Structure 1
Amino acid sequence: MKQALLVIDVQSGMFDQAPFPDDMEAVLERINGLAERARAAGAPVIWVQHESPAGLLGRGGPGWQLAAGLRTADGDRYLAKTTPDSFLRTELDALLKQLGVEGVAICGYASEFCVDTTTRSALARGIPVTLAGDAHTTHDKPHAKAAVIRAHHSFALGNLSSFGTPIAVKDAADITFD
């Protein structure tokens, strides 16, 4: 099965100023490792960037840029979105079909919003998902620490069976693209 890597919303506005997302440096390194392995196997790497008309994530602004420390490469793809769902009102589904992709590995930001929503949207479309359980992150929230949110979403998403589409939660180091 040909698989693509989706890196969701790892942008300067959330990563390059305090407070930082949970386990940020390790998550960034795991994402870079996933991207390097995907490229080495000939799998597409797709950087998804959330955008707003203005403000922190205004398209082209400093906060909209990919986070410092991410390693991109020629041939990587870029996709803008305006909702937590990377498929909604974007060309992602068409791009995956054009590239012959049958499954996606997902990592990025925010565990409880864009990572969760995009994962469920892929499953609803019949696209198998491998979630990099240690390569998605978020910030602390008033009701829960980020580490708890991350663990909860990895568990909950990894135990979804009602879509009828395969999902696996794996450590980034255990995800392969061949």
Structure 2
Amino acid sequence: MHETEKTALIVIDMINTYDHKDAERLLPSVREALPRVVHLLERARERDVPVIYVNDNFGEWRSHHGEIVETALAGPHADLVEPIRPDDRSLFVVKARHSIFFETPLGYLLSQLGVGHVVMCGQVTEQCVLYSALDAHIRHLRVTVPADAVAHIHAELAEAALRMMERNMAAEIRTAATARL
């Protein structure tokens, strides 16, 4: 990483009600990854690294980020949302599909912030994280994925996705403790 290259922490789809068909398979992995996501958020905020939440809108086309957060906090899995709730400095981008870049203003936002390196944490490793890492790579962004700060539905697919990100997208696969912010 270049010394002058700015980094952003991107939290993918963690503001969630877990009201979907794969939730029961996903929840144990989310619980395992959550402390490391919290750690990344703390480190980023201490260093004034931009924190950007990119979150699914769950098909609620009239919702905004505040409503998404409040709905998740009112749900049965608020304990998974409260520790990583966005603060007043956090940025929030709403997405509708798997990639954090697909038809969102994220690319423009990153360029405005002067970001050339993204650290991606959140869920789901073998879906949204994988597709987002590819989209970041084709935009010439450096990508780091802390393997212990991403949650999966299928462990074997998540392992394959992490290997693909490392091999095919030149992503740094690290731990949350060693990810460079």
- TM-score normalised to structure 1 length: 0.81
1:157 to 152, 165, 172: 165
- 1:11-160 correspondence runs (5 A): 11-14=15-18, 18=24, 20-54=26-60, 59=63, 60=67, 62-63=71-72, 67-139=81-153, 146-160=154-168
Measured after TM superposition, the shift of residue 21 of structure 1 is 2.6
Measured after TM superposition, the shift of residue 71 of structure 1 is 4.2
What code does the residue aligned with 1:157 have?
M
User: How many residues are treated as equivalent by the alignment?
Assistant: 165
Measured after TM superposition, the shift of residue 150 of structure 1 is 2.1
2:155 & 2:62 partners in 1: Cα distance? 28
Judged with a 3 Å threshold, the aligned counterparts in structure 2 of structure 1 residues 19 and 69 are, in CA distance, closer, same or farther, namely farther
Q: CA RMSD of the aligned region, Å?
A: 2.5
Judged with a 3 Å threshold, the aligned counterparts in structure 2 of structure 1 residues 19 and 131 are, in CA distance, closer, same or farther, namely closer
More helix by share: 2
Judged with a 3 Å threshold, the aligned counterparts in structure 2 of structure 1 residues 156 and 64 are, in CA distance, closer, same or farther, namely farther
Q: Is 1:5 matched with 2:9?
A: yes
Measured after TM superposition, the shift of residue 129 of structure 1 is 0.2
List structure 1 runs of 4+ shifted beyond 6 angstroms. Answer: none
2:142 & 2:73 partners in 1: Cα distance? 29
What code does the residue aligned with 2:90 have?
D
What code does the residue aligned with 2:107 have?
D
Contact 1:6 1:46 in 2 (8 A): yes
Percent identity, aligned pairs only, is 27
Judged with a 3 Å threshold, the aligned counterparts in structure 2 of structure 1 residues 11 and 72 are, in CA distance, closer, same or farther, namely closer
Q: Is 1:168 matched with 2:169?
A: no
Residues 25-84 of structure 1: CA distance to partner in whole angstroms, max 9, x if unpaired? 231110111111112122100011101334xx9833525988233243221111100111
What code does the residue aligned with 2:104 have?
T
- TM-score normalised to structure 2 length: 0.80
Q: Which runs of 5+ in 1 are unaligned?
A: 140-145
SS of corresponding position for 1:12: coil
Contact 1:5 1:106 in 2 (8 A): yes
Contact 1:86 1:118 in 2 (8 A): yes
Contact 1:112 1:149 in 2 (8 A): yes
